[in-house]
Chains A and B, each alone.
Chain A
Amino acid sequence: MKKVLSLSATITLSLLLMIGCSSTPTTEGGAEVSEQSTGAGSEMGAEGSEASTSAASQGEEWYGDPLENPNSLLATRVIYFDYDQSVVRSDYLEVIQAHADYLAANPQAVVRLEGHADERGTREYNLGLGENRANSVRSLMMAQGVADNQMVVVSYGEERPSAFDNTDEAMALNRRVELVY
């Protein structure tokens, strides 16, 4: 898949394309695992993704840096992936759209897309898998007008887990891309 899209007009369309042609299945293991749905905004234990929950109460207008607004979609900085997949799930499209809009509006801003895998499978192969995930996010953002030089892709594979248990839940938390501004 990797370089699937460059075309697409609307983000929804491009995403449907990506999901539709779901590409070479990437694997980080074979043991069948129940799908975890750690939905948008569930930032449990993810490093570098402290969504502060103190400031403004809901409905109030935010005057500061949009990245600091805890009620914005930009506060979601971790995108989780299904087992065996490096395709972005549809429930993250809005989040990616929000980040893409922010980056397009702030051409000087740069984001690091840090790809991660769970502990199953070999370490160097998982580096490749983490990179595929980060590149999926990157492709979507580029389709939304984010410049290439505003994104840095780094894969950590399974080397920087955010959850340390060997449960299915912990592994689901480790299959992720972190957006680091």
Chain B
Amino acid sequence: MKKIVLMLLVFLACHSAVKAELTIEITEGVEGALPIAVVPFGTPGRGQPAVDLSEVINADLQRSGRFKTIPRADMLSRPTSDREVEFKDWRALGVENLVVGQVESTGAGTYQVQFQLLDVYRGQQLTGYSIPTTASNLRNTAHRIADIIYESLLGIPGAFSTRVAYITSTRLADGKSRIGLNVADADGHNPETIVTSSEPLMSPAWSPDGMKIAYVSFEGGQSAVYVQGVYTGKRQKVTSFKGINGAPAWSPDGRKLALTLSKGGNPDIYIYDMRNRKLQQITNHYSIDTEPAWSPDGKSLVFTSDRGGRPQIYRVSAFGGKAQRVTFENRYNARASFSPDGELLTFVTQDEGNYRIAVQDLKTGVMQVLSQGRLDESPSFAPNGSMIIYGAKAGRRGVLAAVSTDGRVRQRLALQEGDVREPDWSPFKK
């Protein structure tokens, strides 16, 4: 495994008005990554597109750690369709796959994007699409193309068209803090703040349809759980009982929220039905029970409990009943969630005095520590299960980092200023 250490200056094209954008640094990549060349797309006709699509595609593939992309400077030619390709030139470069394409202006702010994915050794097209798009959707189109390439070559869907929600915190000159709940594209672009507050915001959670986010807000001096439309801005207060209202987690069908309430005197897990507004108590124990997460089939929940003296992960039926302990290694295991296929759990474990991200195979019970930080927290699976995004510390600053589920690829995402924490990776776009 070699260190690549590659700064992707994803935002170099951006205008001077520097918004709070995330920069992505790949700190470790996979040996045996697939060599691929994404040739700059041709731009025939008038109306040059404002986005360099091939650059976005290239950055996506590179960032996944599964591909070794060829720098433009090494390209001997710049074909824009298979008819112009000299396959032997690309074979000489050791490239196995080639992406060529064109972005053609078709009117005011509209484009037709064509691309082909070519197998260099067989001299054949693997796939190719022609996609109509608009100026404001060019980046999304590029992410979709990266998804198609990823899936054709690796056999699992790409997650480049997804988004990430996260919390930011900036300390102001007057000593107060400005806390924000934000969403950005998975590559850190297009960040938007959907809630700001001078009081803490916590625990953002995407609804399964990707349209809403549940979160905890302390506005008004008390915790409450809210659900907010990401694109409508409309929000609804779900619970504001006395005590803790926290840790919202959507059921896979999007109809219920599992959450933590301490209205009974100490934190327990409840399920709130969004349709009939009924509350069902799932755990009833004098210890701290919190951080519920649903299994993908919706039949059970995992949660953190210190009923055994220290925080460990337990599993309980979504109808309640007796909880079974799931984690046994290490003294501290908390905030678990399931991989999309339901086979793995990711959680925070205490590893020789450090808090790190681990995965555990639910069948074998084997646990593997994936991260290398001091205070890593809030792990969240990508919807294709390939990566886990989490919060980490770089010095005193909160940063986001991601690691592949097998621990072989690492990336760091850093805001230019302030703290970033509690990432939650969105589901696939529906």
Contacts and interface: CB of A to CB of B under 8 A. Distances in A.
B interface residue count range (under 10 / 10 to 19 / 20 to 34 / 35 or more): 35 or more
A128 B286 contact: no
A2 B247 contact: no
Interface of A is mostly: loop
Contact of B244 (A3, A131, A164): A131
Given A125-B311, A127-B267, A30 B335 contact: no
Interface stretch (B113-121, B135-143, B258-266, B321-329): B258-266
Interface string B288-318: 1011000000000000101001110000000
Given A124-B202, A159-B202, A27 B244 contact: no
Contacts of A29: 332, 350, 355
Interface residues of A, number: 33
A2 B218 contact: no
Contacts of B243: 131, 153, 155
Contacts of B353: 30-32
Contact of A123 (B202, B218, B221): B202
A26 B260 CA distance: 18
B200 interface: yes
A154 B422 CA distance: 21
A132 interface: yes
Contact of B396 (A124, A156, A166): A166
A157 to B, nearest CB: 8
A127 B244 contact: yes
Interface in B196-221: 200, 202-203, 218, 221
B375 interface: yes
A16 B311 CA distance: 26
Given A122-B335, A124-B291, A125-B335, A164 B396 contact: yes
A64 interface: no
Contacts of A165: 396
Contacts of A24: 287, 306, 309
B62 to A, nearest CB: 32
A160 interface: yes
A160 B175 CA distance: 12
The 7 closest A-B pairs by CB, nearest first: A128-B288, A159-B200, A31-B353, A122-B335, A122-B334, A124-B247, A128-B267
9 contacts: A3-B265, A25-B310, A26-B306, A120-B355, A122-B304, A123-B422, A131-B267, A154-B221, A160-B200
Interface of A: 2-3, 24-27, 29-32, 112, 119-125, 127-129, 131-132, 153-157, 159-160, 164-166
